[in-house]
Amino acid sequence: MSDNVLSGLAEIVEEVAGVAADDVTAEKSFVDDLDIDSLSMVEIAVQAEDKFGVKIPDDELANLKTVGDAVNYITSNK
Amino acid sequence: MTSGIEVVITGLGATTPLGGDITSTWDALLAGKSGVRPMTHDWVEKYDLPVKIASQLVVDPTEVLPRVEARRLDRSEQVAIVASRQAWSDAGHDDDTVDRQRLAVIIGTGIGGAITLLTQDDLLEQQGLRKVSPLTVPMLMPNGPAAHVGLELKAQAGVHAPVSACASGAEAIAWAYRMIKSGEADVVVAGGAEACITAIPVAGFSQARTMSTRNDEPEKASRPFDTGRDGFVLGEGAGVMVLERREFAEARGAKIYGKLAGIGTSADGYHITAPDPEGVGQSRAIAASLRSGGIDPADVGHVNCHATSTPVGDVAETVAIRKAIGDHPVLTAPKGALGHLLGAAGAVEAIVTVLSIRDGIVPQTLNLENLDPAVTLDVVAGEPRKIKLEAAVNDSFGFGGHNVALAFTPA
């Protein structure tokens, strides 16, 4: 798993949802562990698309349950 | 409404152009300070707006709220949250003893999330759909301030957002009165919030020729009842009060600021923006507030006026007061100092009225130097006046012909 992607994603999550970047670790669930709602997930996805140059369609976004899911998706679709 | 239930005020909160809370606002008002300052926004020059002044918050809500919370809220929602937290805490409810199904929130706004609407429209135009915030709708909806406060307090008796332009804040308090009187709620958090100092409202009000253009003397621009008045000054802020069924408040040993004895509402049916110069609808609202409160007009010592510093409106109000109450009440117009907080005005000024009763002091009408000869009532000018009040009325009127009068008495 890419550490650069993880730390970049953590910065976005901190900016959008106020979760400390250190708490944004691979095994965490966005909804259950980080208390991020669906509206914030849309913001996070848009910022991640810009930051990493990927496309995250809505049906893919729905599958990204954990931070690790998102990092893996971004890494393999960059 | 003649139920034996009494409605009392147990908590106050506000953030205004005079101060970030109740005490600082009240002190600044009595000290004769003005909240009006030049606008520094780039759009003032960009569009060459004729109005270059506004009554702007002293304490920016983003300084008080956590960053992430603030970014999810429109400015009108931010100020509602700030004022509500103060009021809730002031009422001694931090210990959380209220049954949520007996708790309601009613917060009105005149304009709603105009800043969000314009900001997001710019993003759509310039950067496309992807950049539009998914929070756009909950940030711009006019029930947003009420909804966010309701959510925070988990209020379940009802969450409402009256929209009646510059009467919205007072309308919310009137609605709270009705809910408590009818037995629907024991506690209601009620007030108004407004934060729309941005290009299109300023341009629109300017085009309607309703705003003061005394740009070279900002602090003197808002001057209700003065012969030199030339329009209102747009302001921003929020005022919130906690109202309770008296027995409920007394049972928990709450401090009581005063009583909301009666309310009156009416509509002019006259013109979309201009008040009826004969003040017929306004006087009916005032008379109804006294009737519902069982108050003899002779006992009303004071009227906290809506007077916005427009040529027609200020005089019409005094005609209405004379008609409904007589020529004895002592008047003041807090907008001289506060500017016009639109949907928050009625709430902030209702709070001022409550404090006038509590402290036995009526603030001066700032900038009233030469009383309009058409005004034949006693308006406090120059400095505050000490006066023991048995009853006081707060007027609020709005574009659309909405009239609200709130009649307060001592605790």
Q: Can you read off the two tokens belonging to residue B138?
A: 């909950």
Q: Compute the nearest-CA separation of A21 from chain B (Å).
A: 14
B128 in contact with chain A, both atoms CB, cutoff 8 A: no
pLDDT tens, B158-168? 999 999 999 99
Q: Check CB contact under 8 Å for A49 and B67.
A: no
pLDDT at B1 > cutoff 50: no
| Residues 6 or more apart in contact with residue B1 via CB below 8 angstroms | B178, B181, B182, B292
Handedness of CA B322, B384, B60, B258 (dihedral sign): negative
Entry pTM: 0.95
Domains of chain B: 8-252 (3.40.47.10), 262-409 (3.40.47.10)
Handedness of CA B201, B204, B208, B214 (dihedral sign): positive
pLDDT of residue B394: 98
pLDDT tens, B257-277? 999 999 999 999 999 988 898
- Chain A residues with CB under 8 Å of a chain B CB are 16-18, 38-40, 42-43, 46, 49
pLDDT tens, B163-211? 999 999 999 999 999 999 999 999 999 999 999 999 999 999 999 999 9
Note if B166 is an active site residue.
Answer: yes
Q: Report the alpha-carbon distance of residue B56 to residue B73 in Å, rounded.
A: 18
> Which chain A residues have a beta carbon less than 8 Å from that of B120?
none
Exposure of B141 in the CB half-sphere (CA atoms within 13 A) = 11
Q: Compute the nearest-CA separation of B86 from chain A (Å).
A: 24
Q: Report the alpha-carbon distance of residue B209 to residue B169 in Å, rounded.
A: 24
In 10 A of CB B118, how many CB atoms? 17
A18 closest CB neighbour out of B66, B131, B133 = B66
Strand partners, B303: B331, B393
Note whether B76 and B168 are within 8 A (CB). Answer: no
B129 in contact with chain A, both atoms CB, cutoff 8 A: no
pLDDT at B2 > cutoff 60: no
> Which chain B residues have a beta carbon less than 8 Å from that of A40?
134
A17 closest CB neighbour out of B68, B130, B134 = B68
Nearest CA to B176 out of B155, B197, B194 is that of: B155
> Which chain B residues have a beta carbon less than 8 Å from that of A17?
68
Q: Which of A38, A44, A46 to mutate to test the interface with B (most CBs of B within 10 A)?
A: A46
Q: Report the alpha-carbon distance of residue B10 to residue B244 in Å, rounded.
A: 7
Residue whose entry in the numeric block shows the structure tokens 């947003």: B144
Q: Which of A38, A43, A54 to mutate to test the interface with B (most CBs of B within 10 A)?
A: A43
Q: Which of A35, A42, A49 to mutate to test the interface with B (most CBs of B within 10 A)?
A: A42
Q: Can you read off the two tokens belonging to residue B96?
A: 């959380």
> Which chain A residues have a beta carbon less than 8 Å from that of B133?
43
Q: Where are the domains of chain A?
A: 3-77
Q: Compute the nearest-CA separation of A43 from chain B (Å).
A: 7
Exposure of B322 in the CB half-sphere (CA atoms within 13 A) = 15
Q: Compute the nearest-CA separation of B69 from chain A (Å).
A: 8
Nearest CA to B162 out of B265, B69, B63 is that of: B265
Note whether B336 and B349 are within 8 A (CB). Answer: no
pLDDT tens, B300-338? 999 999 999 999 899 999 999 999 999 999 999 999 999
Q: CA-nearest residue of chain A to B132?
A: A43
Note whether B393 and B163 are within 8 A (CB). Answer: no
Q: Check CB contact under 8 Å for A43 and B67.
A: no
B133 closest CB neighbour out of A38, A43, A49 = A43
Q: Helix, strand, or coil here: B303?
A: strand
Q: Which one of B166, B173, B263, B285 is the catalytic residue?
A: B166
Q: Report the alpha-carbon distance of residue B140 to residue B123 in Å, rounded.
A: 15
pLDDT of residue B3: 74
Q: What is the CATH number of domain A3-77?
A: 1.10.1200.10
pLDDT of residue A1: 65
Strand partners, B331: B303, B379
pLDDT band at B154 (very low <50, low <70, confident <90, very high): very high
Q: Report the alpha-carbon distance of residue B310 to residue B222 in Å, rounded.
A: 9
Q: Compute the nearest-CA separation of A38 from chain B (Å).
A: 9
Q: Report the alpha-carbon distance of residue B107 to residue B174 in Å, rounded.
A: 11
User: Stretch A12-34: mean pLDDT, rounded?
Assistant: 95
pLDDT at B94 > cutoff 80: no
pLDDT of residue A2: 77
Q: Report the alpha-carbon distance of residue B243 to residue B176 in Å, rounded.
A: 7
Size of interface A-B (CB pairs under 8 A): 17
One-letter amino acid for residue B339 of the chain: G
B62 in contact with chain A, both atoms CB, cutoff 8 A: no
| Residues 6 or more apart in contact with residue B46 via CB below 8 angstroms | B199
One-letter amino acid for residue B329 of the chain: P
B70 in contact with chain A, both atoms CB, cutoff 8 A: no
pLDDT tens, A15-25? 999 999 999 99
Q: Can you read off the two tokens belonging to residue B251?
A: 């049972």
Q: Can you read off the two tokens belonging to residue B308?
A: 């916005």
